[in-house]
Chains A and B, each alone.
Chain A
Amino acid sequence: MSVADREAGPLAPSGAPLAPSEAPGRVLVPYGQGRIRGLDAEELGAHGAAMDRLVALGLPVVPGLTVPAGVSASLCEPDTAEAAVVLVEQLSGRRIGDRGRPLLLRLSASAPTEIAGLPPDLACLGLTPGNADELCAVIGRAEALYEVWAATLRMTAEYALDVPGSVLDDALLDTPEPRARVEALLSLAARHGSRPVPDDPAQQLALAARALLARWDSPRARRSRRAQRLPADLPLALHVQALRIGPAGRSGYGTAVSRDPETGRLSPRGFFFRGVRRSAPPPHTGEPLDRLAGGTALLEHSLLTLERHLRAPVSVDFEVRDDEISLLAASAQLRPPLRTAVCLAADLARDGALGREEAVRRITPGQVQELLHPQLRLTGGEDLLVTGLPASPGAATGVVVLSSERALEVAADGTRVVLVAAETTPADVPGMLASVAVLTGSGGIASHAAVVARGAGKPAVCGAEGLRVDLAAGTVRFGERVVREGDPVSLDGRTGAVYAGALSVSVAGPPPELSTLLEWADGTRRLGVRVNADTAGEVDTALALGAEGVGLCRTEHQFLGERLPLIRRVLLAADPAARDAALLELERAQHEDFRALLAAVGDRPVTVRLLDAPLHEFLPAPGHAPDAAEEQRAAALREANPMLGLRGVRLALLHERLYPAQAEALFTAWADVAATGVRPRLEVMIPLVSLPEELAAAAAYVRGAADAVAARTGVEVPYRLGTMIETPRAALLAGELAEHAEFFSFGTNDLTQLTYGFSRDDVERQVLASYQERGFLTASPFARLDPHGVGALVALAAERARSVRPGIKLGVCGEHGGDPESIAFCDDLGLDYVSCSAHRVPVARMAAAHSALRQRQDEERHHESGSAR
């Protein structure tokens, strides 16, 4: 920096306008002097502006200069190039051709913003056949230098000396060795070029500048600008940097980011390479930062300084010379890894550098979802078969198949299969498509198998060492372990772990920093978030994820499984005595379920929906009833359209003991749990209502049950009574229904089916995809609440209900309760809560917070525009 300051005086008075007609040296702007000359990224390019910032922050940078956009073509002039060479020599305190402290130059380009498709950097300017060996001796290795040199010569020959590209291609194909390539390219330029490649560094620089600008004008570069919607005539700034040559053991270059992408914590991560800097460092070949002989203190200081300054995670490129670090480039990571973004937002807000709301705003609901990806639920007792490379994210479990053929056969009936192959060829693609996951013995994360698996959205583990497939025996060996075709395995494409057996797949818990942000989000939002949960176990999971209560407890499962015969006896009983006995047994079983559920809920609200399953789920399959009489009664009950038939409140009105029995079990359980000191806020919900009279009748059953329990136990159970709104008629008659209901819960799945007249199972396969392709729908109405039709019914019902009962509690319990856009819609309507499945609860919390922040912003904007007028 001191060198740069010293040079500033005579070279450039600050604020001087730039013009090509000026003296050659005047268009050259040393790193760090752009701002005092009144130049910004428009002239300096993104790189020049970034180097200015680094100098201003007092960080060490590599010596170099910028030829600003608009005058960059002047670098093609010998005088300007000569002045640039001299200036970089002064800035670096070295001279080209000096054997003791050798110097070369590197030419690069940048646009006002970070873009793709810039011409490649041209390094090794100043190198000649006469001095190359000396430099190789200084470095201690030759390959890299010749390789970089060959790349520079290739570009210069094609774009500045007009050697045909195909001639150069052929020569390079015939000459794989870098040193021979340099010789071939030099002789091709002499033979086919407009002139030979000069030895003089300034002339080389001028030619390189011409080559870069010609490459920027090539059809390929123009196509690239068009693809990025950039102006066709976007000007480039050029940069001439010192490339200081030193022994490979103590010199090199590297790249680092401020945070560990795995944990997101502040801790520099990156790698470095010894020797001469190349355009694109080969991936996975560098050494870790802790092998830097001079330590990483200065690097850490630079990263931390930049992070505070930019309020973003940062990445830098650096040069190592004599074990000292200087920066080559630095930028905010535009798209940091998620963990990094979350940790940084939390760190900045804790330090007071960012408001909590701003921190919440930085993380979208979609990102929350991505952080809570499904993974295998591990208990520690798993049988690990092998660990390979994590090639395609996701977790899956299925049975082993060893060929495409078997995969297609076994998967045909819906069995989940995992294709295991030693290596993959095109013949494995059909099998991969039929599988839920892929495991291969060879290949890396960029293998064909991995590319295909990701292309098909399947989890994959590749390169599992020691995996041996024996097709004849139908087995696969993992070292000593043998697994047979048909055995279950589970794999995690994020960790590369493969386990024997079928493990359960579940959602990961939020990392601690995300929990912090979600707590801040809770402080921001108005809309409540509850969970749809049927059992105590599900309630526990959801509460850990931040649910405020249960918005929908379905009671259907209480009648399935081993209790199916009981409900069957209730429905098909030949005589009332048998029916009552079965009912009593059901009530007892439900009582246990409810007690566990309510204990898990604690003092929170819980909405219990009385039985809603369609009748056919409880009937024996035709021909499977125990006797002819029951067969006959079952046949009489079968329906053409069960989903629109004897369901919900309709079934309860026909079998008058069903709801009272359920409600009594529920109220008794509440009394038991209350005795232990917790008081769940009970809400009893009647499903599938479309007539106010239905609701009134069902409400009478529930009240009767409460009275019966009070008489028996002496406990007056506090509860609210409400109804689902899931038929269009219920929505339209919300005012009348509100006279009998203290709350409504919109069952938006059924409401969507009935409003559209869609049968979900049928249209999702046949109709919706085609409608989305045609542009009729932008999203499935089952995933995103249709604001115009279904949403209008919700809005209308809310308005009518509130006109009758102003404080009525309103919620949504369809799957839409977990969709960010639908959540914003519900928030705008002023509903009280949404209820969604457990794994969507964190997403819903964040979505509700973002909705509240947006409303606040809209109000402020409205207020500002109002006061401006």
Chain B
Amino acid sequence: MQSAAVGLPDAPDEPDSEAVVDLVLRGMWRGRPESEHRPLVDAGLAMVKGPVVLPTERAKAAAARILRVPAGSEQEERITAAYEAFLPVNRKIRDVCTAWQCRPDGSANDHSDDTYDAEVRESLEDVHEAIQPVLRRLERVLAGSGRYLTALAEALDRFDDGEPAWLASPLCDSYHTVWMRLHQELLLVLGISRAVDEALEEELVTRSRG
């Protein structure tokens, strides 16, 4: 299962497929030592822009190739099932982050209303409850995906410990940051475009409303 899931690199010229995938899923690296990104830069897979390292188009294509599971395989079918269960929750987490940042009237949430914030926290618990069975299933068919549940739980803990940035800040491995990464991996694993993804999410959410 291990080998099938990760899909070992089929292009021997790539220095470190794990690193390429990590960089693409994260979108950038900050504060990494040069020894880590130098091989990628030399191979044309990464570029250094000031303090950040970005993936090149080539790296994005490579990551897509490395992660993609065989089309029509049973594995693809099972991951697709988990992905379709993921999508309605994906809508919810964005609503939760939005509610944390903005009050319903669109004004910024200044976090002076404890009850409102506690309501948002409740809906975050709902999301976390809903995503756990999905991720447990995913882990059985996509090796390594268990790390997402660990990272989400870590972010939730930090958030509960009074560090609000760990819900939606783009500057740390917040709940939303980890979630975005998970979403991106699913899309690359299944070879699904953003446009198809959005349409499917809308359809699944609408269907569940009856």
The finding on whether chains A and B are genuine partners in a shared complex, rather than unrelated, reads yes
The 8 A CB mask of B7-35 against A (1 = contact, 0 = none) is: 00000000000000000111110000000
Q: Is A448 located at the chain interface by the 8 A CB criterion?
A: yes
Whether the Cβ atoms of A227 and B169 lie closer than 8 Å is: no
Does B52 sit within 8 A of A, measured CB to CB? Answer: yes
Chain A 414-454 interface mask (CB, 8 Å, partner B; 1/0): 00000000010111111011000000001101111011101
What CA separation (Å) do A454 and B106 show in the bound complex? 11
Residue of A nearest to B84 (CB): A176
Q: Is B42 an interface residue (CB 8 A)?
A: no
Q: Is the CB of A173 within 8 A of B171?
A: no
* Residues A170 and B184 in contact in the complex (CB < 8 Å), given A141-B210, A282-B209: no
How far apart sit A35 and B93, CA to CA, in the bound complex (Å)?
Answer: 42
Question: How many residues in A have their beta carbons less than 8 Å from beta carbons of B?
Answer: 57
A429 close to B170 (CB less than 8 A): yes
| Partner pick for A393 among B108, B113, B116, CB 8 A cutoff | B108
B105 proximal to A (CB < 8 A): yes
Contact B122 A456 (CB under 8 A): no
**How long is the Cα–Cα vector from A223 to B159 in the complex, in angstroms?**
13
Residues A425 and B194 in contact, CB atoms below 8 Å apart: yes
- In the complex, which residues 191-210 of chain B have their Cβ closer than 8 Å to any Cβ of chain A? 194-195, 198, 208-210
Cross-interface CB contact of A430 among B27, B97, B183, cutoff 8 Å: B27
Query: In the assembled complex, which residues on chain B have CB atoms less than 8 Å from the CB atom of A393?
Result: 106-108
Chain B, range 38-52, C-beta contacts under 8 Å to A: 47, 49-50, 52
B71 at the interface (CB under 8 A from A): no
Partner among A409, A427, A443 whose Cβ is within 8 Å of the Cβ of B55: A427
Contact B94 A451 (CB under 8 A): yes
Q: Is A252 an interface residue (CB 8 A)?
A: no
Contacts of A170 in B (CB 8 A): 133
A112-124 to B contact mask, C-beta < 8 Å, 1/0: 0011110000000
Name the A residues within 8 Å of B160 (CB-CB).
Answer: 223, 227
Inter-chain contacts of B105 with A (CB < 8 A) = 261, 337
Assembly CA distance A472 to B175 (angstroms): 34
Q: Answer yes or no: B176 CB below 8 A from chain A CBs.
A: yes
Cβ of A169 under 8 Å from chain B: yes
Which residues of B94-120 have CB atoms within 8 Å of chain A's CB atoms? 94-95, 97-98, 101-103, 105-108, 113-116, 118-119
Are B28 and A451 in contact (CB-based, < 8 A)? no
Nearest-neighbour CB distance to chain B for A463, whole angstroms, equals 10
Q: Please give me the residue from chain B that is nearest to A230 by CB atom.
A: B118
Question: Does any Cβ of A come within 8 Å of B137's Cβ?
Answer: yes
Which residues of B (101-156) have their CB < 8 Å from a CB of A? 101-103, 105-108, 113-116, 118-119, 121-122, 125, 132-134, 137
Q: Interface residue count for B (Cβ, 8 Å)? A: 55
A433-B121 contact in complex given A370-B107, A404-B28, A451-B97, C-beta closer than 8 Å: no
**Contact of A117 (CB < 8 Å), options: B49, B94, B101, B118:** B118
A103-151 interface (Cβ within 8 A of B): 114-117, 141, 143-144, 147
Please classify the interface of chain B as helix (H, G, I), strand (E, B), loop, or mixed, using the class held by over half of its residues. Answer: helix
Query: CB-CB < 8 A to A337: which residues of B?
Result: 103, 105, 107
Given contacts A178-B210, A454-B102, contact A442 B198 (CB under 8 A): yes
B170 in contact with A456 (CB, 8 Å): yes
Q: Report if A380 contacts B (CB, 8 A).
A: no
CB-CB under 8 A from A447, the residues of chain B are 94
* Known A-B contacts A224-B122, A227-B121, A425-B27; A390 and B106 likewise in contact (beta carbons under 8 Å): yes
Say yes or no: A404-B54 contact (C-beta < 8 A), given A443-B198, A451-B98.
yes
Complex alpha-carbon distance, A401 and B116, angstroms:
37
What would be 15 A-B contacts, judged by CB atoms less than 8 Å apart?
Answer: A178-B210, A261-B106, A334-B115, A337-B103, A405-B47, A408-B54, A412-B49, A427-B55, A428-B27, A429-B27, A433-B171, A448-B176, A448-B183, A451-B98, A451-B168
Residues of A that sit less than 8 Å from B by CB: 114-117, 141, 143-144, 147, 166, 169-170, 173, 176, 178, 220, 223-224, 227-228, 261, 282-283, 285, 334-335, 337-338, 370, 390, 393, 404-405, 408-409, 412, 423, 425-430, 432-433, 442-443, 445-448, 450-452, 454-456, 494
Q: A393-B106, A426-B184 are in contact. List 19 more A-B contacts (CB 8 A).
A: A115-B115, A116-B115, A117-B118, A220-B125, A224-B122, A408-B50, A408-B52, A409-B49, A423-B198, A429-B28, A433-B170, A442-B198, A443-B198, A446-B97, A448-B94, A448-B180, A451-B176, A452-B176, A454-B102
4 closest A-B pairs by CB: A143-B210, A426-B27, A116-B118, A408-B49
